[in-house]
Chain A
Amino acid sequence: EPEVTQTPSHQVTQMGQEVILRCVPISNHLYFYWYRQILGQKVEFLVSFYNNEISEKSEIFDDQFSVERPDGSNFTLKIRSTKLEDSAMYFCASSRGTLAYEQYFGPGTRLTVT
């Protein structure tokens, strides 16, 4: 069964450094998403991406964040200058369509900012 994959599983970085989190969505899916979950808190939407552009973003997704689909399979989240409060699990998800379609989540990347 096709799955969303994410790399790395754990990333440790120093405050102020740039990080890139990588995802490979399910191959026939067209919509891609990033979510984050701070330890002990709820899963929060960051951004959705369709047809090579952002379709929705939350107030969390400020200028420090960007997303890209650099090739036909990868979908990346870049954080330009990490802060301590960016420490969280970051989940990538994908879906075939938008409204009445299920989103399937990858295993996540645990980002630790020191």
Chain B
Amino acid sequence: GQNIDQPTEMTATEGAIVQINCTYQTSGFNGLFWYQQHAGEAPTFLSYNVLDGLEEKGRFSSFLSRSKGYSYLLLKELQMKDSASYLCAVRDDDGGATNKLIFGTGTLLAVQP
């Protein structure tokens, strides 16, 4: 079956670091994405991992371990505007025909002063 798990909610303090974990079990794997979504808006792309290891992009980093079915998103120097839902999504190529994204339910991050 297809399953992506991530915590429902997290709280962190402005200026701190937070790590959002994601575990997945999917029939196919062709990369893992992290998206940020503010309430009522569309998801915006944050990061992409297809090989094991860490990808760094400014204040955001993402890690992938394919053997463990595990990823995390690391946010540094938190700002109030980082309060949003963070979506983990696996690209399932479904045997090569379809490039669909399977999303977790999202982690709602609240950044407090």
Chains A and B form a bound pair:
no
